[in-house]
Amino acid sequence: MTTYSILLVEDDPGIAGSLQTALRREGYAVQWKAEGAEGVSFARDHSPHLIILDVRLPDGSGFDFCREMRMLGVRQPIVMLTVQSDEIDKIIGLEMGADDYVTKPFNLRELFSRVRAQLRRAYGEFAISEGDMLYAGDIVIDRQRGRVLRGGDTINVTPTELRLLTYFAQHPNQIVSRGQILDAVWGYENSPDTEQVVTVNIRRLREKIEFDPGNPSMLLTVPGIGYKLVN
């Protein structure tokens, strides 16, 4: 049985200590870093299976550290800890490359549920491991290697973006609702809050695969219903 490693980047010793204890009881190996720069270095050098990253850190913004990790090629799932009253935190975190968020004060059961969902989709029963290719227009999805290519060039995507693009490529020219996407890619029930996760990730994916993201020609919005990949 795989022991998943988790990097926790949180400056509050009380919160960090409680989370470390609780996560270890769940069977995870946990490394704690109190500053964002330390977290970035550890993630780059040790490739933990998942990263829990606080938004407010003493040496900078968790948003910036999230973006830095992605720029350095860290592709593991990132779950951000945001503040309940700051709705914009959730959106910015997703824009910077995070896969999910949990708001403070949080329920441990909810956090564990989000962590398990991300691990299952990245490494477990929902991981993309089939050896065949999928195609979305001129884009090639190499599911065995977890790569997205266009004309021989690699398009850098996060694990969530890869699953999202794969889902669309598996349902070409079909209209799919946000609820269907949430269930297939995240395993969540549909709600106004979780719908924002879909909206932001669609926007991020368009910025990577569309030649003109503001006027998409591949990944289209179907008003009042959802989205459709034109293939």
Residue after which a domain boundary falls, among 84, 103, 123:
123
pLDDT digits (tens, 9 = 90+) for 124-178: 655 555 556 888 888 999 877 778 999 878 998 888 888 899 999 999 999 999 8
pLDDT digits (tens, 9 = 90+) for 33-69: 999 999 999 999 999 999 999 999 999 999 999 999 9
Do 110 and 150 lie in one domain? The reply is: no
Residues 66, 40: contact at Cβ < 8 Å?
A: no
Distance CA 48, CA 104 (A): 23
pLDDT digits (tens, 9 = 90+) for 7-30: 999 999 999 999 999 999 999 999
- Give a yes or no: residue 128 inside a domain: no
Do 94 and 174 lie in one domain? The reply is: no
Distance CA 96, CA 86 (A): 16
Residue after which a domain boundary falls, among 123, 150, 182:
123
Residue after which a domain boundary falls, among 75, 103, 123:
123
How many domains are contained in the chain? 2
- Give a yes or no: residue 103 inside a domain: yes
**Domain with 21 in it: what CATH number?**
3.40.50.2300
- Give a yes or no: residue 138 inside a domain: yes
Confidence (pTM): 0.69
Which strands sit side by side in the sheet containing 133-136, from one edge to the other? 133-136, 139-142, 147-150, 153-154
Do 137 and 199 lie in one domain? The reply is: yes
Which pLDDT score, from 0 to 100, does residue 143 have? 78
Q: Which residue has the higher pLDDT, 180 or 105?
A: 180
- Per DSSP, 53 falls in state E
Domain that holds residue 24: 5-123
Which pLDDT band holds residue 4 (cuts at 50, 70, 90)?
A: very high
Which pLDDT band holds residue 101 (cuts at 50, 70, 90)?
A: confident
Do 9 and 114 lie in one domain? The reply is: yes
Do 97 and 168 lie in one domain? The reply is: no
Do 22 and 108 lie in one domain? The reply is: yes
Do 160 and 181 lie in one domain? The reply is: yes
**Domain with 164 in it: what CATH number?**
1.10.10.10
- Give a yes or no: residue 119 inside a domain: yes
Which pLDDT score, from 0 to 100, does residue 190 have? 62
- What contacts 30, CB < 8 A, 6 or more positions away? 5, 6, 7, 8, 19, 20, 23, 24
Please compute the mean of the pLDDT values over residues 179-200 and round it to a whole number: 79
Which pLDDT score, from 0 to 100, does residue 127 have? 57
Structure tokens at 137: 């227009």
How are beta strands 153-154 and 175-177 bridged, if at all? unpaired
Which of 200, 220, 223 lies closest to 210 in space, CA to CA?
Answer: 220
